[in-house]
Amino acid sequence: MIEVENLTKHYGQHVALDGITFAVGHGEVVGFLGPNGAGKSTTMRILTTFLAATSGSVHIGGDCVFERPNQVRSRIGYMPENNPLPIDLRARDYLVFRAQLKHLSKDMATKRVDEVVEQCGISNEENRYIGQLSRGYRQRVGMADALLANPELIILDEPTSGLDPNQVRSVRSLIRKLAGKHTVLISSHILSEIEMTCDRVIILHEGKLLASGEMNKLISKSNSKVVAEIRAPLIDIKNWVNEIALEDSELIEQKNGYVRCQFSGTKNNDAREQIFATVNERGWELRELSRHTPSLEDLFVSLTNGKEGNR
Amino acid sequence: MNIFRALIRRELSMFFQGPTGFIIISAVLFLISLGFLVVLYGLNGEATPMPVTQIFYETYFFWLILLLIAPAITMRSFAMERASGTYESLMTAPVGDWQVVLSKFTGALIFYMILWTPLLVCSIVVRFYVGESAVLGFGTMFTTSMGILMIGSLYVSIGCFASALTQNQAVAAVGSFAIGAALFFTGFFSYFSGDRTDFFSLLARHISLANHMESFTRGILDLGAIIFFLSLTSLFLYLTHKVVESRRWK
């Protein structure tokens, strides 16, 4: 659906995107992740034909975005950053106007507007002026606009920014429902967001592509961690750790005699059985034994910090 | 065509959804009424050799409306959409750059022509009481409207161009006023040049909006003037399109 090759964008001296290459297949929900200023919005603007790239090529559904912008635009439903909407129109009138711009016939426009209003849960508010709507409802109007023409590709730039937790949850479930029928590209710097909605993630940092791939694989590449809380003298525990040869250990003394032992490093993924057996052998008390898979957040921090360290 | 109509309707709705359109309408209504008073005063005396439209045109109000109102109408067309960000959703919908430029131009021009309708009412009142076609024939009324339309399209296209250059409405208004006033006052050099036939005197006479408009108000459809206005309008629309397109230059 999307093929991006060697995409570079300069704003004067500033390099916003530096040779990015990625591809997105049909029906995938892909998250675009990066700190502010990483180049997420610039990439989206180039994909949606709003801006031209300095060099590189972008094809959407086989059409080049620079040479056939109108074909590309009719394939895309796009909600720009901050979801700009005209405040002087009623929500429904705005959607009808947008439907006309997207080449829907009059009957089709009415039908589709009814459907997206229902789908995005704005039935009760459709006749209010957009200027009077709360931020959550405006966001839904923006989403409804993106869905109007039933596009193959939906691009949402930070769809949940500024929403309260309930609204975030409803937007998230809406995005999940789109999977399969549409290809969805969403950007965010909120990691839990992407973690919950996307199959794949593309991580950008300072205009460069840091990582791209399926969420699970990316996460499993980075280390998971085993934690055990044991009641025993610290000295004994140190000896025990050396004995069972677990690497990258970190021992923290807790209240009432417990010691929290954290073992990181790929080899320790399934060290829990060994830990339980040896602790039991010694007759120590064990109050916690757990394995923590790293979140996207850990992955993100390790990737971006690594980069910053290299500068 | 459907899209074009939707875009124009949207442009017009922007004037009437808020107070802006009505403020502009009242200002123009005030100026036209002042002009109308001057016309009535002129008719009150002896028989005049001039058509009424020409008397009206010779008042300052006509040019005041032209120089001030076009920037006020067009300053928002691109600048406001850019500032609010709706420009991005507009330009990523499957519409062409030309469709956007022409719809903004046409919308503003329609609103501009609506502003002049009180003048039509005034003219009909005068015609009804005078009842003499030499003073105000339908022919002169038609050519005067043509003149207003021609000058209007030029000034509206200048306004669209200035508005496309910036996202600040005030800058857009001042810019289009500056270009419009420069064009208008350059034409006045033709008064100083007299009968001279050197290049600059001829040029000044050719771009004198006042001269062109005067022939329209006398009931003359001057083909040269029409070509002059249409070509300048096209030039500014072309420049506007280039500015709109420039975001996609590499």
What is the per-residue pLDDT across B15-38, written as a single tens digit (0 to 9) for each?
888 788 899 999 889 888 888 887
Domain ranges of chain A: 2-218, 223-293
- ipTM of this complex: 0.84
How far is Cα A167 from Cα A307, in angstroms, rounded to an integer?
A: 34
- pLDDT bin (cut points 50, 70, 90) of residue B46 is low
Domain ranges of chain B: 2-244
| CB B132 within 8 Å of CB B105 | no
CB contact under 8 A, A50 and B91: yes
What average pLDDT does this structure show over B93-111?
A: 93
**Residue B128: helix, strand or coil by DSSP?**
helix
Interface of B with A (CB under 8 A): 2-3, 6-7, 10, 13-14, 17-18, 84-96, 247-250
Question: CA gyration radius for chain B?
Answer: 19
Chains A, B: CB pairs < 8 Å: 75
- Which of B2, B85, B250 is the closest to A84 by Cβ? B85
Query: Which residues are within 8 A (CB) of A189 and not within 5 positions of it... i.e. 6 or more apart?
Result: A33, A34, A35, A36, A158
pLDDT of residue B144: 84
How far is Cα B108 from Cα B73, in angstroms, rounded to an integer?
A: 6
The CATH superfamily assigned to A223-293 is ACT-like. Chain A, domain 2 (3.30.70.1150)
* Segments in chain A below pLDDT 50: 268, 308-311
Task: State the nearest Cα–Cα gap between B6 and chain A, in angstroms.
Answer: 7
Task: State the nearest Cα–Cα gap between B50 and chain A, in angstroms.
Answer: 46
Strand partners, A153: A76, A183
Q: Which of B7, B82, B89 to mutate to test the interface with A (most CBs of A within 10 A)?
A: B89
Distances (CA, A) of A256 to A230, A285, B76, B226: 11, 12, 70, 96
> Quick one: what percent of chain B has pLDDT higher than 70?
90
Q: Which residue has the tokens 């090759």?
A: A5
User: DSSP code of A129?
Assistant: B
CB contact under 8 A, B92 and A98: no
Q: β-strand A29-33 against A153-157: which pairing, if any?
A: unpaired
Nearest CA in chain B to A88: B17
Q: B114 pLDDT exceeds 80? A: yes
CATH top-level class of A2-218 = alpha beta
pLDDT of residue A309: 38
- Residue A266: CA count within 13 A, CB half-sphere: 4
Chain B residues with CB-CB distance to A103 below 8 A: 2-3, 94
Kindly provide the b/e burial profile for residues B179-218, where b requires at least 16 CB atoms within 10 angstroms of the residue's own CB. bbeebbeebeebeeeeeeeeeebeebbebbbbbbbbbbbb
